[in-house]
């Protein structure tokens, strides 16, 4: 398929996509290189096709997504990359898409922020067989990342992401909610998650924090704007890349992320679980994205709850080391977290898969982490 990579209404480059694999097989005319996705290498004024392919194919649902095999069977699609072209690569997390040359489309009429979309893919991902004989694949779920079961839907005109948990405890949605409460109390910009229950299972719901004016750019792509010298730490490299791009207020924002992750012993703050927002038209950076995806924390899969068990990502392997990267604790007030374990207990109580013994241990461990943080700060 001959098509144009678009950034909202701006043509970026012309390219040919292989119909069988969805990979980019050639790059043609370059319209506006400044609108290329962040992190794509450029040489002799041409984007690196390997980088571009990696970026493009990474927009598809990862093969590790829970329930993906069954969903693909229901949708009668052989692999997730094929779903990419079915929705023109459109997403609810940025403004990139592909415009087919043989039947050009308009962003106003096609984007998911302002137009309805099919729930067939989202439903299939939740194991629901699409009712219509004709399956409609025009869905932002085709371009959603992450391994947990999830779907986009519209409620009261708002775009919301519904995300499940994993066995045995199904704790991630509950963790998302308590993490939101903690960040609210600490005045940390965050994505607010709320738990809902469907057929005895918890799901977290959050609103889209991207608007038709913005792009979410992952830290993963930000880290690619410069080559990392061996002697530079990954933390410093990230800060340097943000500086090069001109992203404002990065250090205080990363401080806040490291603090919340220490408190909840987050195990999975990989480079796609944080990032920055930029304006999709004038390319000006807004700042770091509000903190999202905090569910893989609070000993979500541990049988024995040990507050000291705190492996971390992305800059250090242990939270006890990673917290040392925080440049200032001035804005942190431990008093803001008084009685937070009562809120945690209340959230946990709603779950049939978390018994009272586990609940009490989880609350005690959260309390201990808050005290550990206080001790760390006073020892400095």
Ligand X SMILES: Nc1ncnc2c1ncn2[C@@H]1O[C@H](COP(=O)(O)OP(=O)(O)OP(=O)(O)O)[C@@H](O)[C@H]1O
Contact residues for Mg ion, defined by CB under 5 A: 146, 273, 293
Instruction: Report in angstroms how near the CB of residue 127 gets to ligand X at its nearest.
Output: 17
Instruction: Report in angstroms how near the CB of residue 55 gets to ligand X at its nearest.
Output: 13
Q: In which residue are the tokens 């997504």 written?
A: 65
What are phi and psi for residue 155, nearest 5 degrees? Answer: -135, 125
Q: Which stretch binds ligand X (CB under 6 A): 49-57, 268-276, 329-337, 362-370?
A: 268-276
- Answer for which of 119, 120, 215, 293 binds ligand X (CB under 6 A) is 293
Q: In which residue are the tokens 């990419």 written?
A: 84
**Residue 273 vs 351, nearer CB to Mg ion:** 273
**Residue 161 vs 363, nearer CB to ligand X:** 161
Instruction: Report in angstroms how near the CB of residue 45 gets to ligand X at its nearest.
Output: 29
Query: Cα angle at 61 between 214 and 318, to 5 degrees?
Result: 80
Q: In which residue are the tokens 């012993």 written?
A: 265
Distance between CA atoms of 265 and 252, rounded to whole angstroms? Answer: 20
Query: Is 273 an interacting residue with respect to ligand X (CB under 6 A)?
Result: yes
Q: Which stretch binds ligand X (CB under 6 A): 5-13, 177-185, 254-262, 265-273?
A: 265-273
Instruction: Report in angstroms how near the CB of residue 187 gets to ligand X at its nearest.
Output: 19
**Interface of this chain with ligand X, residues 313 to 372, rule: CB under 6 A:** none
- The number of C-alpha atoms within 13 Å of 182 and in the hemisphere containing its C-beta is 31
The token duo for 314 is 């992305």
**Residue 118 vs 266, nearer CB to ligand X:** 266
**Interface of this chain with ligand X, residues 195 to 214, rule: CB under 6 A:** 206, 208-210
Nearest to residue 264, comparing CAs of 186, 178, 194? 178
**Residue 111 vs 273, nearer CB to ligand X:** 273
**Interface of this chain with ligand X, residues 213 to 252, rule: CB under 6 A:** 216
Which of the listed partners (ligand X, Mg ion, none) does 191 bind, with a CB threshold of 5 to 8 Å by partner kind?
ligand X
Instruction: Report in angstroms how near the CB of residue 97 gets to ligand X at its nearest.
Output: 16
Distance between CA atoms of 198 and 7, rounded to whole angstroms? Answer: 37
Q: Which stretch binds ligand X (CB under 6 A): 138-146, 180-188, 329-337, 358-366?
A: 138-146
Instruction: Please enumerate, as own/partner, the contacts of 356-361 that have beta carbons within 8 Å and a separation of 24 or more.
Output: 358/169, 358/305, 361/305
**Residue 47 vs 275, nearer CB to ligand X:** 275
CA 24 from centre of chain? 24
Helix or strand or coil: residue 24? strand
Query: Is 292 an interacting residue with respect to ligand X (CB under 6 A)?
Result: yes
Query: Is 183 an interacting residue with respect to ligand X (CB under 6 A)?
Result: no
Which of the listed partners (Mg ion, ligand X, none) does 220 bind, with a CB threshold of 5 to 8 Å by partner kind?
none
- For residues 141 to 180, the per-residue mask of contacts with ligand X, x marking binding by CB under 6 A and - elsewhere, is ---xxxxx-x----------x-x-----------------
Instruction: Report in angstroms how near the CB of residue 88 gets to ligand X at its nearest.
Output: 18
Contacts of 268 (CB under 8 A, 6+ apart): 293, 296, 297, 313
Distance between CA atoms of 12 and 90, rounded to whole angstroms? Answer: 15
Indicate the burial class of 66 (C-beta count within 10 angstroms; 0-12, 13-18, 19 or more).
middle
Which of the listed partners (Mg ion, ligand X, none) does 177 bind, with a CB threshold of 5 to 8 Å by partner kind?
none
**Contact (CB, 8 A) for 373 and 323:** yes
**Residue 85 vs 93, nearer CB to ligand X:** 93
Helix or strand or coil: residue 247? coil
Largest CA distance in the chain: 66
Distance between CA atoms of 277 and 258, rounded to whole angstroms? Answer: 19
Instruction: Report in angstroms how near the CB of residue 272 gets to Mg ion at its nearest.
Output: 6
Instruction: Report in angstroms how near the CB of residue 177 gets to Mg ion at its nearest.
Output: 16
């Amino acid at each position: 398929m001959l098509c144009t990579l678009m950034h909202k209404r701006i043509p970026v480059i012309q390219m040919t996509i292989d119909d069988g694999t969805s990979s980019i097989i050639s790059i043609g005319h370059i319209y506006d290189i400044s609108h290329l996705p962040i992190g794509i290498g450029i040489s002799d004024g041409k984007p690196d096709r390997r980088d571009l392919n990696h970026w493009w194919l990474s927009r598809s649902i990862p093969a590790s997504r829970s329930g993906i095999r069954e969903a693909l069977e229901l949708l009668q699609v052989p692999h997730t990359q094929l779903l990419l072209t079915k929705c023109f690569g459109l997403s609810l997390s940025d403004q990139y898409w592909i415009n087919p040359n043989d039947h050009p489309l308009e962003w106003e009429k096609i984007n998911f922020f302002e137009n309805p979309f099919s729930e067939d893919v989202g439903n299939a991902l939740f194991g629901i067989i699409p009712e219509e004989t004709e399956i409609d694949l025009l869905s932002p779920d085709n371009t959603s990342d992450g391994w947990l079961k999830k779907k986009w839907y519209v409620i009261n005109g708002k775009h919301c992401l519904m995300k499940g948990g994993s066995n045995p405890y199904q704790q991630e949605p509950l963790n998302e909610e308590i993490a939101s409460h903690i960040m609210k109390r600490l005045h940390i910009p965050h994505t607010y998650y709320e738990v809902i229950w469907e057929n005895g299972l918890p799901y977290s719901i959050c609103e889209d924090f991207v608007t038709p004016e913005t792009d979410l750019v992952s830290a993963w792509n930000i880290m690619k704007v410069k080559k990392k010298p061996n002697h530079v730490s990954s933390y410093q490299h990230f800060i340097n890349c943000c500086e090069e791009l001109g992203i404002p207020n990065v250090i205080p924002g990363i401080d806040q992320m490291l603090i919340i992750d220490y408190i909840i012993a987050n195990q999975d703050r990989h480079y796609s679980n944080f990032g920055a927002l930029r304006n999709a038209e004038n390319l000006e950076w807004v700042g770091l994205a509000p903190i999202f995806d905090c569910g893989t924390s609070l000993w979500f899969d541990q049988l024995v709850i040990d507050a000291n068990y705190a492996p971390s990502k992305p800059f250090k392997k242990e939270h006890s080391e990673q917290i040392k990267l925080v440049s200032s604790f001035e804005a942190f007030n431990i008093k803001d977290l008084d009685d937070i374990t009562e809120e945690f207990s209340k959230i946990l109580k709603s779950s049939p898969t978390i018994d009272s013994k586990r609940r009490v241990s989880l609350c005690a461990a959260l309390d201990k982490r808050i005290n550990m943080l206080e001790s760390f700060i006073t020892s400095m």
